């Protein structure tokens, strides 16, 4: 375990940076492409927009729950700490295990290649995409090793640029592109009743993926100046801001392309901007996508290493990972470890298959973490005057938990093989936890 005499994490992140971290964890490249995936299932424009509204409501419910969890448990590790304190260290370890092996690093590898694809075209660089992606990951690893204030400033700057790119898409699509009319504007949903319900459920998969990531802001609660105030505020403002941006993007895409046209367009954001500004518009949105993906990578490099740091401090991971650099006051080994894993997966290229296995596992932990609120409320016997209280609890919390696990059930029905493989990867963490726990017991004995 890390020594108590070692330097601790520095509390240098304020409310604005917390909000940008929340938004940066959500907004990657998905919003520029996922409207098409939803339109394939729901070519009816009203239902398509309803799916994005439903996804936003789910994300907001989750943010409200995590806001209270953050107020009750403001220490290092966020979601990892909630699971550990509410249930058992094994539950928390398994979450951190899959976060490092696949969920966080695999997502970073996927986004790094998207960044390389768009930035390489814009710059005219002929290097292989994996090399460009790995170079971006290495640069962000170095930036975040220089200190949490530096990492937060870079992340906030990239998020402001992302907001500007998305706002440009919305404004240009609204003012410069005429709306489609007639049959091209909308299409009825094939089938009624149960078939329509299944189509809506299928459309929710890319929606929920696009809204995911806000929970990672909780990982840096130990470095917020006032976590009880700033993290709840950042979660609520950040998720609300993303909902507005996402609905705006989908509205202009439907307005410009129509439901059927959107379903047939591989790059809807580029199509809208090209109609608005010609080839220059397509290049502009390509730059926006490159910035957006880089911002997502920056946020991931800033947040998730704090989970591995917390695991090491609990004695269930490599001791070195729990060390803080005396000058920069950040867990440099944890940051470097995540950067190395992400770069390896970027070079390997098979991470996409593994990510398919872990989708259900990710949402199991979403629901399990939200259920921690029931445990903490029962144990704590109320909320202190300075704490945040989730509106509508226990009903809103129960709805969020049920929504996560119904989504998992839908994935099990659709992809039983992938789901079972994901569970198998998760269970490899059980002997690893037993090994580190045994070592910790021998050390304390």
pTM for this model (two decimals):
0.88
Domains parsed from the chain with CATH numbers: 15-353+383-389 (1.20.1740.10)
Across residues 16-32, what is the average pLDDT? 88
Question: pLDDT confidence of 385, banded at 50, 70, 90?
Answer: very low
pLDDT score of 265 more than 50: yes
pLDDT tier, 6 (very low <50, low <70, confident <90, very high otherwise): low
Tell whether the model's pLDDT for residue 2 goes beyond 50: no
- Can you spell out the DSSP letters for 85-153? HHT-HHHHHHHHHHIIIIIHHHHHHHHHHHHHHHHHHHHT--S-HHHHHHHHHHHHHHHHHT-HHHHHH
Average pLDDT (415-434) is 90
Most confident of 12-26, 254-268, 362-376: 362-376
Name the residue among 405, 336, 278, 320 with its Cα closest to residue 137.
Answer: 336
- DSSP track, 278-296: THHHHHHHHHHHHHHHHHH
- pLDDT, one tens digit per residue, over 128-170 is 889 999 999 999 999 999 887 888 889 899 999 999 999 999 9
Q: Which residues contact 201 (CB under 8 A, 6 or more apart)?
A: 410
Q: Give per-residue pLDDT as tens, 30-54.
A: 888 889 889 888 888 888 999 999 9
CA distance 321 to 312: 6
- The Cα–Cα gap between 25 and 303 comes to 9
Residue 294 has pLDDT above 70, yes or no: yes
| Res 298 pLDDT > 60 | yes
Q: What is the pLDDT of residue 444?
A: 59
Q: Which pLDDT tens digit goes with each residue over 164-218?
A: 999 999 999 999 999 987 555 555 554 556 677 777 877 888 898 889 888 888 8
């Amino acid at each position: 375990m890390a020594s108590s005499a070692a330097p601790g994490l520095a509390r240098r992140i304020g409310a604005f940076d917390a909000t940008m971290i929340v938004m940066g964890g959500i907004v990657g490249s998905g919003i520029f492409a996922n409207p098409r995936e939803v339109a394939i299932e729901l070519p009816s424009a009203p239902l398509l927009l309803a799916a994005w509204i439903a996804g936003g409501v789910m994300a907001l419910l989750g943010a409200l729950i995590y806001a209270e969890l953050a107020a009750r448990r403001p220490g290092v590790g966020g979601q990892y700490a909630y699971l550990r304190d509410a249930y058992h260290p094994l539950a928390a370890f398994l979450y951190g295990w899959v976060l490092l092996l696949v969920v966080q690093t695999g997502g970073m590898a996927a986004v790094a290649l998207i960044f390389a694809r768009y930035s390489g075209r814009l710059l005219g660089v002929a290097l292989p995409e994996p090399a460009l992606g790995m170079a971006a990951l290495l640069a962000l690893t170095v930036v975040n090793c220089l200190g949490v204030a530096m990492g937060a400033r870079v992340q906030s700057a990239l998020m402001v640029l992302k907001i500007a790119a998305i706002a440009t898409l919305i404004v240009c699509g609204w003012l410069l592109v005429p709306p489609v009319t007639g049959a091209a504007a909308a299409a009825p949903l094939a089938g009624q009743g149960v078939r329509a319900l299944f189509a809506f459920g299928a459309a929710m998969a890319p929606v929920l993926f696009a809204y995911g990531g806000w929970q990672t802001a909780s990982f840096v609660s130990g470095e917020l100046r006032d976590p009880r105030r700033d993290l709840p505020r950042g979660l609520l403002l950040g998720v609300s801001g993303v909902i507005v941006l996402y609905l705006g993007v989908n509205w202009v895409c439907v307005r410009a392309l129509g439901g059927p046209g959107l379903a047939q367009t591989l790059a809807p954001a580029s199509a809208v901007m090209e109609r608005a500004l010609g080839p220059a518009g397509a290049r502009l949105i390509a730059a926006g996508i490159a910035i957006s993906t880089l911002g997502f990578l920056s946020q991931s490099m800033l947040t998730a290493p704090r989970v591995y740091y917390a695991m090491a401090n609990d004695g269930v991971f490599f001791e070195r990972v729990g060390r803080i650099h005396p000058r920069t006051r950040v867990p440099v080994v944890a940051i470097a470890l995540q950067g190395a894993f992400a770069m390896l997966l970027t070079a390997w290229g098979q991470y996409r298959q593994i990510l398919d296995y872990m989708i259900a596992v990710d949402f199991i932990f979403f629901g399990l973490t939200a259920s921690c609120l029931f445990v903490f409320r029962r144990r704590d016997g109320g909320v202190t005057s300075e704490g945040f209280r989730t509106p509508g609890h226990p009903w809103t919390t129960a709805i969020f938990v049920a929504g996560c696990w119904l989504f998992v059930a839908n994935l099990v029905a659709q992809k039983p093989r992938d789901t079972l493989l994901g569970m198998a990867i998760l269970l490899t963490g059980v002997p690893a936890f037993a090994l580190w726990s045994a070592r910790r017991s021998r050390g304390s004995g």
